[in-house]
Copies of this chain bind each other. A is one copy, B any other.
């Protein structure tokens, strides 16, 4: 079976920009033209929520599917809309798969091993019920919190290996309080380095070989020094870079997450690409054109900096 690491490498190689499109639904930021159409087509409020989100994401995906290799779906923003949100999550995953994009479920899940295995089945595997095994929310990769240690990460690696999926372990997050625990020094290294080493060890154990592993990391570009250390500890890991744009991360922090050959990372951009509509777009085509133009702009920033690392600093 082709591994997630191999698919990640191939998808990044094909795509024009090393970006992931972040899709974090907030109904009040979805353009009116899409919400109004959803309301007209819906028999109730729940259905209107689901249709608004699913349609907006379908438009955004179509706008950039030939530019970027992946989407990252922030699960909390779907869960806040209850069942309608979870249906929209399923719809969005299906639309991204049809567009041949890698689907990263950003759930930052984890728990003790028996429950971690349930989360792994939910997003990366299949669950048996009444004699059939079926996927629940069929992502290509899931983001995972390392606070519970090695045995909580292993069920994700096992399921990823079995189903050709991947996981991204939170190594260093992008929020201002991230250093509080993550930079705590343990022995002679900060916790985030310890987490990166653990991530590397699990990746090498479950996905040995030369190419990219299927056990990646999430790294905030708001802490460039940590980003550099994490990439050094994880030469074979796919990295999703978070915090660029709305959270004021720097290009230098982004570039630090790529390998020396300028590979192996995707810079996520969510709000910058899909929200902040100061002028209401008049049509779905206008929505798509703006998202496409913004994606080009951010993408060119990143590849410009990658081509000329000095520019990034």
Interface residues in chain A, defined as those with a beta carbon under 8 Å from any beta carbon in chain B: 24, 27-28, 35, 39, 45, 48-49, 74, 76-77, 79-83, 85-87, 90, 106, 108-113, 115-116, 118-119, 121-123, 127-130, 132, 134-137, 145-152, 170, 173-182, 184-186, 191, 194-195, 198, 242-243, 247
- A149 lies within 8 A of B119 (CB): no
Question: Which residues of B lie under 8 Å from residue A127 when comparing CB positions?
Answer: 80-82
Q: Is the CB of A184 within 8 A of B182?
A: no
Chain B hits for A149, CB < 8 A? 175, 177-182
Instruction: Select which of B113, B118, B170, B242 is within 8 A of A80 by beta carbon.
Output: B118
Q: How far is the CB of A273 from chain B (nearest CB, A)?
A: 16
- Please, which residue of chain B has its CB at the minimum distance from the CB of A116? B76
Query: Are the C-beta atoms of A80 and B119 separated by less than 8 Å?
Result: yes
Task: Check if B115 sits within 8 Å of A77, measured CB to CB.
Answer: yes
Cβ–Cβ contact B151 & A176, under 8 A: yes
Q: Would you call B76 and A119 a contact (CB within 8 A)?
A: yes
Measured in the bound complex, the distance between the Cα atoms of B170 and A166 in whole Å is 25
- Inter-chain pairs besides A80-B127, A148-B181, A149-B180, 10 sampled, C-beta below 8 Å: A27-B128, A35-B130, A74-B118, A77-B115, A82-B90, A83-B86, A113-B175, A147-B182, A152-B175, A181-B191
> Judging by beta carbons under 8 Å apart, are B136 and A79 in contact?
yes
Q: How far is the CB of A16 from chain B (nearest CB, A)?
A: 28
- List chain B residues, Cβ under 8 A from A173: 112, 147-148
A111 B181 Cβ-Cβ under 8 A: no
Task: Pick the contact of A152: B45, B110, B177 (CB < 8 A).
Answer: B177
Ordered by A's residue number, 14 sampled pairs between the chains whose C-beta atoms are within 8 Å are: A24-B115, A39-B130, A74-B118, A79-B123, A79-B137, A80-B119, A81-B127, A81-B129, A82-B90, A83-B90, A145-B147, A146-B147, A150-B177, A181-B195
Q: Would you give the shortest CB distance from A51 to chain B, in whole angstroms?
A: 12
Please state the number of chain copies in the assembly. 2
Check B191 against A110 for contact (C-beta < 8 Å): no
Of B48, B80, B111, the contact of A122 (CB 8 Å cutoff): B80
The 7 closest A-B pairs by CB, nearest first: A149-B177, A149-B180, A82-B136, A184-B186, A151-B177, A76-B118, A79-B122
Measured between alpha carbons, how far is A81 from B122 in the docked complex, in Å? 7
A90-B82, A137-B79 are contacts. A194–B181 as well, Cβ < 8 Å?
yes
- Assess whether A180 is in contact with B150, with CB atoms less than 8 Å apart: yes
Contact of A170 among B122, B137, B147, B184 (CB under 8 A): B147
Residues of chain B within 8 A of A109, CB atoms compared: 76, 108
Shortest distance between the CB of A168 and any CB in chain B (Å): 13
A243: nearest chain-B partner, CB-CB: B112
Contacts of A186 in B (CB 8 A): 181, 184-186
Measured between beta carbons, the chain B residues less than 8 angstroms from A185 are 186
**Contact yes or no, B110 A79, CB < 8 A:** no
Q: How far is the CA of A119 from the CA of B209 in the complex (A)?
A: 38
Contact check, A175 vs B147: say whether CB atoms are below 8 A apart.
Answer: no
